[in-house]
Amino acid sequence: MLKSKVVLLESSGDTLMWLEEYLSTDLGANVQATKNELKCYAEKTKDKLWGYFPGTEEKESEKYPQTIALARQISVLIGEDIRQCAFIRLCGGRPETEFGGLHLDTRSKAAEEEGAKRDILRILVNLHKKPRKLRYCPLEAEELRKKDIKVSTHKYTVVTLPDTVKTEIIEIPPLTDNSVYVLKFIATRILHVGVNDEHGHFIASFGRHL
């Protein structure tokens, strides 16, 4: 059940980023079971990092039964289609290898063929007992282009901003016995990237075209 919603960023009358708190007292057991399931794979990797990405592996239901069950539970809680689950990922600490950077989400080829609108809503659910940080630029991509900063909407591109353009960091509060926090933002208009630290992360991501 949705308890609260706080708007974090607006532009030209549009809400671009907001934080929601959902009341939930029954996520705990599935969260821990999923953490244990993913940890078995993560511990075998250099960065202690592993994730379930629906539709990318064979025999997923056999490898990730707990994780899939949690994805279903989260989708019901936040009112999203289970098919919009992008991943559930666990990281045991700060990855030795940094990856990614400030970027926009891009439309899939399938979405273009279906005529979906350009904007993508990204939904991040913090399943960790520590906050999850996201760095973002409060200026929309269109405003950055007016400053002669190249920002692509058609392919994944890491954007390096000049010192004159500031970024901000939002913390998604940690999971508690009673609440789960969800950050939602328009990922095709706001540059963003997850911030890694020694606490690692445990997060579910959903996304859909608007």
The domain locations on the chain are 2-209
Reported as type and span, the H/E element at residue 8 is: strand 2-11
User: What pLDDT score does 4 carry?
Assistant: 97
Report d(CA 11, CA 4) in Å as an integer: 21
For residue 183 the two structure tokens come to: 């950050």
User: What pLDDT score does 98 carry?
Assistant: 55
User: What pLDDT score does 142 carry?
Assistant: 92
User: What pLDDT score does 94 carry?
Assistant: 81
pTM over 0.85: yes
Spans of the chain below 70 pLDDT: 96-99, 107-117
- Tens of pLDDT along 99-132? 679 999 986 655 555 655 678 999 999 999 999 9
User: What pLDDT score does 108 carry?
Assistant: 60
User: What pLDDT score does 148 carry?
Assistant: 93
Reported as type and span, the H/E element at residue 136 is: strand 132-136
Q: What CATH number is given for 2-209 in this structure? A: 2.60.120
How far, in Å, are 32, 40, 158, 174 from residue 129 at the CA level? 11, 19, 29, 5
